[in-house]
Chains A and B, each alone.
Chain A
Amino acid sequence: MSIGPAWYLALAAVLFALGAIGVMVRRNVLVMFMCIELMLNAANLTLVTFSRVLGDIGGESIVFFVLVVAAAEVVVGLGVVVAIFRRRAATTADDLHEMLG
């Protein structure tokens, strides 16, 4: 028999927590993007696990769409980062404080 879903879900929860900690702790914009990818992967892992346990193809379809949307998000996000870096040599998210008032 294969491994039960509890282990996969626990692993995905820990991975999601790692990604969230990274987004909150890191200041480099690119590394924050990578941590968002970590959280997306944790969600994908839970969706595949639910899909297997419930015998339903819908979870895997949602994972497919999540992959596509993640690719689009990374493309637009990195475009924004390139545009910001072109106007000002801002390395971290703390350097972008124009809206501070």
Chain B
Amino acid sequence: MNVLLSATFPDAITFAICAVVVLSGGIGVVTSRNPVHAALNLVLTLFGVAVLFVEQHAYFLAAVQVIVYAGAIVVLFLFVIMYLGVDRQENVRSEPLKGQRPLAFVLMGISLAGVLALSATSDWVTGAHKVAGGLTAGGHTDTFLLGKSIFTTYLWAFEITGALLVIAVVGAVVLARRPSGVHDDGGPPAPGGPSLSARPGGDGRAERAAADDTTATAEDPEQVEVGR
């Protein structure tokens, strides 16, 4: 366990800073009450992991990590959070399942301690070297080697991945499409209460128009009243 001290100083300090950033971001994701804060903490963690990729000479993966994860996935998360308007604070005090949280902490603590103890008492990494191809073959960069590996050894998997992405896009469009028969009122109406008419904007107007069966004068509620 003296490896961190025997490493060169820039490597050790980079790893220490990144470990702190990654773990604080992870704790922030788990403990943030606001989903927007959780997403921003997720960005912190992803950047820390990207720097750790650079530290291990996986430059292409670090760039992809920042572009795809921090640039696309987190933006998608934020987009959905803003679109759904669920950026209100979650009540973290209420606990529907009694004893779920202590049990979660205890179970994960036992699992983590088991994994760490098992790894510390035996070898951390064992296995055959250079099975799918060398990492420093012929002095090429890791981008060259990764591209060669993906487009030769894993070409079939790469093609299937492309099909998977297309299927995912089509499925997301189908799922998120507004169904033609269902009226979009943003949730089930409260029983016996005029909750929907109190909503500002187009939803209340659409509701009123549907109720009165008037379309032309639905823009102005007073005109609807006069017209009747």
Contact = CB atoms under 8 A, between A and B. Distances in A.
A interface, size bucket: 35 or more
Given A7-B3, A57-B134, A15 B8 contact: no
B17 interface: no
A24 interface: yes
B58 A60 contact: yes
Contacts of B214: none
B2 to A, nearest CB: 9
B11 A55 contact: no
A60 B141 CA distance: 13
Query: Which 10 pairs of residues, A with B, have the shortest CB-CB distance?
Result: A58-B132, A89-B187, A4-B3, A79-B175, A79-B172, A72-B168, A24-B104, A22-B30, A18-B26, A17-B112
Q: Provide the main secondary structure of the chain A interface.
A: helix
Contacts of B173: 79
Interface of A: 1-11, 13-15, 17-22, 24-28, 30-31, 33-35, 37-38, 41, 44-45, 48-58, 60-61, 63-65, 67-76, 78-83, 85-89, 91-92, 94
Given A7-B3, A55-B134, A91 B125 contact: no
Contact of A91 (B90, B104, B120, B186): B90
Contacts of B80: 30, 78, 81-82
Nearest to B84: A85
B interface, size bucket: 35 or more
A6 to B, nearest CB: 5
Contacts of A89: 186-188
A82 B175 contact: yes
B12 interface: yes
Contacts of B107: 24
Contacts of B132: 56-58, 61
B35 A31 contact: yes
B206 interface: no
A21 B104 CA distance: 6
B210 interface: no
B76 A51 contact: no
Given A7-B19, A56-B131, A72-B168, 4 more contacts: A20-B108, A38-B29, A61-B150, A63-B58
A22 B29 contact: yes
Contact of B146 (A15, A37, A57, A86): A57
Interface in B69-85: 69, 72-73, 76-77, 80-81, 83-84
